[in-house]
């Protein structure tokens, strides 16, 4: 059994005519110590998936399916159990740390909060732990006294990572952890996350719109489109030889580091992902797909293949 096993997850915001089906039947698994990347353009349901994993969605969201963390379903957990699982079982790093940190509290207090809540330790012990965590993420222990606005964007993201590590989670969910940062700092933060999860044998579910970033960091990749996983497989295979036209477009859209050719001619993708409350029939990607057949407007596809799977009629044909 994997550490995280998501089965037939559906998340719909609101109800009736204005219902937004943001996640539509996602199956995923992350083995202990494994790093799974989830890619897709804005609006494809990635953050909804991330928030669902710890039941952090607004009350308007209705969830069905299973989210098994170490075999236990997060969706049916009692509140007390869920509180214990948050931070210690799995913790989350969001994009844009400024919004996740409390502006009026020193960062040391904020990192200590989950430690005090979960370990019933003394404030002095917690303080020591905070100093250790800050060092692990490459910040001087004295920065514990700083307020969020006194730190740079990169430093704030390091604080978020320290918080995520505070209760020794088995899984870290990182939702666009570097998107708001400039390229140099982005690379540093990615290296830090990679190093920490490897050292501490933590599983990682990392979300990004940038397939190149994920391919560099993760073991496996899942590509989401319109609330579904349309391609999934080993990271290098998905990045270098995508089987779904959407995966192909994403991997072409982001320049390979150090490859001047791909930088000059990224094959862009016209248009935007569909509005979830107004999805096209058939394959939801067909209106933007460069290789769509007439039948794609009628026939929906499911993930097919072994190891490296894609939900595309072309991939299904080349498999058989």
Ligand X SMILES: Nc1ncnc2c1ncn2[C@@H]1O[C@H](COP(=O)(O)OP(=O)(O)O)[C@@H](O)[C@H]1O
* Measured CA angle at 252 (ends 247, 255), to 5 deg: 130
Q: Identify residues 252-281 at the interface with ligand X (CB under 6 A).
A: 276
43 binds ligand X (CB under 6 A): yes
Closest to Mg ion by CB, 46 or 158? 46
Minimum Å distance from CB 108 to ligand X? 31
Q: What is the largest CA-CA distance in the chain?
A: 67
Residue among 63 and 304 whose Cβ is closer to Mg ion = 63
285 binds ligand X (CB under 6 A): no
Phi, psi of 225 (to 5 degrees): -140, 130
Q: Does 206 bind ligand X (CB under 6 A)?
A: no
Half-sphere exposure for 1 (CA within 13 Å, toward CB): 11
Question: Site for ligand X (CB under 6 A): which residue of 20, 30, 85, 230?
Answer: 20
| Binding flag, residue 46, ligand X (CB under 6 A) | yes
Collapse the DSSP code of 8 into the 3-class scheme (helix H, G, I; strand E, B; otherwise coil) and give the result: strand
Give the one entry of Mg ion, ligand X, none that residue 43 binds, where binding means its C-beta sits below a cut-off of 5 to 8 angstroms depending on kind: ligand X
If one asks whether residue 47 binds ligand X (CB under 6 A), the answer comes out as yes
42 binds ligand X (CB under 6 A): yes
Among 26, 30, 44, 134, binds ligand X (CB under 6 A): 44
Q: Tell me which of 40, 169, 245, 247 binds ligand X, using CB under 6 A.
A: 40
Beta strand 171-175 with 90-93 is parallel
Q: Does 95 engage in binding with ligand X (CB under 6 A)? A: no
Strand order in the sheet with 61-69: 20-30, 4-13, 61-69, 72-73
Which 3 state secondary structure label does DSSP give 37? strand
Query: Do the beta carbons of residue 314 and residue 291 sit within 8 Å?
Result: yes
- 248 contacts Mg ion (rule: CB under 5 A): no
Residues whose CB is less than 8 angstroms from the CB of residue 223 and which lie 6 or more positions away in sequence, other chains included: 38, 39, 40, 211, 229, 230, 231, 232, 238, 242, 244, 246, 247, 250
233 is in the binding site of which of Mg ion, ligand X, none (Cβ under 5 to 8 A by kind)?
A: none
Give yes or no for residue 47 binding Mg ion (CB under 5 A).
yes
Q: Which stretch binds ligand X (CB under 6 A): 43-51, 124-132, 162-170, 279-287?
A: 43-51
Binding of Mg ion at residue 178 (CB under 5 A)?
Answer: no
Distance between CA 216 and CA 92 in Å, rounded? 20
Q: Which residues bind ligand X (CB under 6 A)?
A: 13, 20, 22, 40, 42-48, 58, 60, 276
């Amino acid at each position: 059994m994997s550490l995280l096993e998501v089965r037939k997850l559906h998340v719909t915001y609101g109800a009736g005519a204005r219902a937004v089906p943001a996640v539509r039947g996602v199956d995923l698994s992350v083995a202990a110590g494994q790093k799974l990347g989830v890619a897709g353009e804005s609006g494809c349901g990635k953050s909804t998936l991330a928030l669902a994993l710890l039941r952090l969605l607004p009350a308007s969201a209705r969830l069905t399916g299973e989210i098994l963390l170490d075999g236990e379903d997060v969706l049916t957990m009692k509140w007390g159990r869920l509180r214990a699982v948050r931070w210690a079982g799995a913790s989350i790093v969001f994009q844009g740390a400024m919004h996740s940190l409390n502006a009026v509290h020193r960062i040391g207090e904020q990192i200590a909060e989950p430690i005090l809540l979960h370990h019933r330790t003394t404030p002095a012990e917690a303080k020591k732990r905070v100093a250790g965590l800050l060092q692990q993420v490459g910040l001087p222990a004295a920065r514990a006294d700083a307020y969020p606005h006194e730190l740079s964007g990169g430093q704030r993201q390091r604080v978020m990572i320290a918080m995520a590590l505070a209760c020794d989670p088995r899984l870290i969910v990182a939702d666009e952890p570097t998107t708001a940062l400039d390229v140099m700092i982005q690379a540093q933060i990615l290296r830090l996350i990679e190093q920490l999860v490897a050292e501490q044998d933590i599983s990682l579910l990392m979300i990004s719109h940038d397939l190149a970033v994920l391919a560099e960091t993760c073991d496996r990749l899942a590509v989401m489109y319109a609330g579904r996983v349309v391609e999934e497989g080993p990271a290098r295979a998905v990045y270098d030889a995508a089987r779904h036209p959407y995966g192909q477009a994403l991997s072409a859209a982001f320049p390979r580091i150090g490859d001047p050719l791909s930088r000059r001619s990224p094959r862009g993708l016209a248009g935007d992902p569909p509005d979830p409350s107004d999805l096209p029939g058939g394959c939801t990607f067909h209106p933007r797909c460069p290789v769509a057949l007439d039948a794609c407007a009628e026939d929906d596809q499911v993930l097919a293949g072994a190891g490296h799977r894609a939900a595309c009629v072309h991939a299904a044909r080349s498999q058989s």
